[in-house]
Structure 1
Amino acid sequence: MKDPYHKILNLFPEYSDAEDTDKALIERLFEPVEVKKGTVLVAENTIPKYLYFTNSGFVRVYYYHDGEAITCHLNCPNGFITSFGSFMTETRSAEIVECITACSLLRINKKDLDHLYELSPKWAEAGRKIYDQSIIYNEQRTRDILTLSADQRYLKLLKESPELIQQVPLQIIASFIGIKPESLSRIRRQLIS
């Protein structure tokens, strides 16, 4: 990627006129990293070191329950990802954050993120917006799991994030929408016929 900071700097259109000092802070504090498929960004029972911004690739957050991997979040390009609660509180994570595909990422540690917020009111406001969006997303996801049928959850994901359906293995998609892989296969067969 020619300019690894282009997407993060254009994430909020209202900040497109960000001052050079704000841009320089992002370029100084976020480190570009390229990782392979299967790379674990946060291991279970560890304190997350970084918050990641996904330039390209797909990342999942999951945990184990009764020996089964339960996917609680899927991240597409132009999104932030980590074990958020553990990152913010600097506590051990019950979740695993893993790259589903090869990924181009930007990463920042907690100390530098706090420093960024202190130095740049624009990025402090952006951080608040990202946090607010995360809360709204999680509330909606919980509501969907409780109120939508498996078919409806799949169709909603297909409509809102078709790139996930194309890039993420079906067993992970099934886990994310809260069903068994064989149920997802049945739903997909019904949609084709």
Structure 2
Amino acid sequence: MDNLKRKIRSYTSVSDQDLTYGLQFYKEKHFKKGEFIIKPGQFVNHFYFLEKGCVCYYTEDDLGIHVMEFFTDNTFFTDLYSYIENVPSENYVKATENCIVQMILKEDVIKSYNFSHDLERFGRISMQEAFVKIFQKTNDLKTLTNQERYIKLLDKRPDLFQRLPQYLIASYLGITPVGLSKIRKRVARK
């Protein structure tokens, strides 16, 4: 819970009383590597804080897996569209490592927002951050070359290359595993 407290306070200052009120609604759950947190067709009623571990947020079709994001230690996540619009998810969220997750029900999020302006502010800022990440990734896919996207990921999130299989990283970058291998060799020679 200490990581969650620090994370919330990184967005806004929250009194001990307000924070204690909000934290009472979180429930800890452990997910084993390979276990699904969210599946298509599921209504997403929780907002999650990944205390420890790594999860993959993706969709799947006839062409394979399309990774949209990886969430790692001390990160908030959910299937935002399903959560906000109250529609069934079309995506998967799967543990790629053993994970410790703090979960809060949507109705309890609303209770905490109604109780505290600072908790509501935290929620707004964290949602804005999630939106900006989605926008940035979409923009990167349109404007950066495959190699530029690889280098950016390597610079910003080097831990992913030790934590995840190459095919998932390739999918996240919008390239094939063979393409990723070629880029890695090219960049390593420089």
Question: TM-score, normalising length from structure 2?
Answer: 0.93
SS in 2 for 1:145: helix
Identity of aligned residues (%): 27
Query: In structure 2, what is the Cα distance between the partners aligned to 1:14 and 1:100?
Result: 27
Tell me how large the CA RMSD over aligned residues is: 1.4
Does the CA-based 8 Å contact 2:31-2:37 persist in structure 1? no
Structure 2: 5+ residue runs without aligned partners?
none
Which letter does structure 1 place at the counterpart of 2:47? Answer: L
Aligned counterparts of 2:31 and 2:11: Cα–Cα separation in 1: 31
2:110 is the counterpart of 1:114 = yes
Is 2:169 the partner of 1:177?
no
Compute the TM-score of the two structures, normalised by the length of structure 1.
Answer: 0.92
Q: How do residues 1-193 of structure 1 correspond to structure 2 at under 5 angstroms?
A: 5-11=1-7, 12-13=9-10, 15=12, 18-193=14-189
Distance 1:131 1:146 in 2: 23
8 Å contact kept, 2:69–2:172: yes
Query: CA deviation digits over 1:89-110, x for unaligned, max 9?
Result: 2210111111111111100111
Distance in 1 (CA, whole Å) between partners of 2:112 and 2:63 is 39
Distance in 1, matches of 2:11 and 2:47, equals 23
Question: For residues 99 and 51 of structure 1, what CA distance do their matches in structure 2 show?
Answer: 15
Q: Could you tell me which amino acid in structure 2 is paired with residue 30 of structure 1?
A: Y
What's the CA shift for 1:35? Answer: 1.3
- Kept in 1: contact 2:58–2:68 (CA 8 A): yes
Q: For 2:77 and 2:132, how far apart are their aligned partners in 1?
A: 15
Q: How far has the Cα of 1:149 moved from its partner?
A: 0.7
Gapped runs of 5+ residues in structure 1?
Answer: none
8 A Cα contact 1:62 1:69, kept in partner: yes
- How many aligned residue pairs are there? 188
Residues 44 and 83, structure 2, Cα contact 8 Å, conserved in 1: yes
Change (3 A) 1:179 1:49: same
**In structure 1, distance between residues paired with 2:160 and 2:100:** 17
